[in-house]
Amino acid sequence: MNEIDAKTDALVPAWLTLPDVADRLGVEVTRVRQLVREGQLIAVRRGENRVLQVPADFIGEGRVVKGLTGTITLLRDDGFSDEEMLEWLFTPDDTLPGTPARALRENRGTEVKRRAQALAV
């Protein structure tokens, strides 16, 4: 859980604090912290107070976006840091189209995972 650089921070359209994530998921903040520890969510420190925050696009209707956890696992296995994962997930890709994070939200996770797997080759 590092502090994010300005370049990567600018790629992410909206952020949620851990209490906000907990509210959207209908769980306690301790459960959100556990999801971060387990690698199911990426949280970084940002802002003046260095508060832990999660990209809003990672949270769907009452749950973590389908396919996100598997994609994070693939990227982590490829040696990506949290910041590099965020950069990859939120960098526009004309061939998708859009960003991998947006594709996950639109239930196009198979293609996103395929691209994440190809990074290891």
- pTM for the whole structure: 0.90
Per residue of the chain (121 residues), what is the pLDDT tens digit? Answer: 566 788 888 899 999 999 999 999 999 999 999 999 999 999 999 888 889 999 999 999 899 999 999 999 999 999 999 999 999 999 998 888 899 999 999 999 999 999 988 887 6
Report yes or no on 66 lying in a domain: yes
pLDDT at 117: 87
State how many domains the chain has: 1
Report helix, strand or coil for 117.
helix
pLDDT at 49: 86
pLDDT at 61: 87
pLDDT at 42: 96
**What's the domain range around 73?**
6-119
Report yes or no on 80 lying in a domain: yes
Using alpha carbons, select from 47, 45, 49, 67 the residue that is nearest to residue 58: 67
Could you tell me which residues come within 8 angstroms of residue 23 by beta carbon, excluding any fewer than 6 positions away?
Answer: none
Q: Which strands sit side by side in the sheet containing 44-46, from one edge to the other?
A: 15-17, 51-55, 44-46
Report yes or no on 11 lying in a domain: yes
Report yes or no on 1 lying in a domain: no
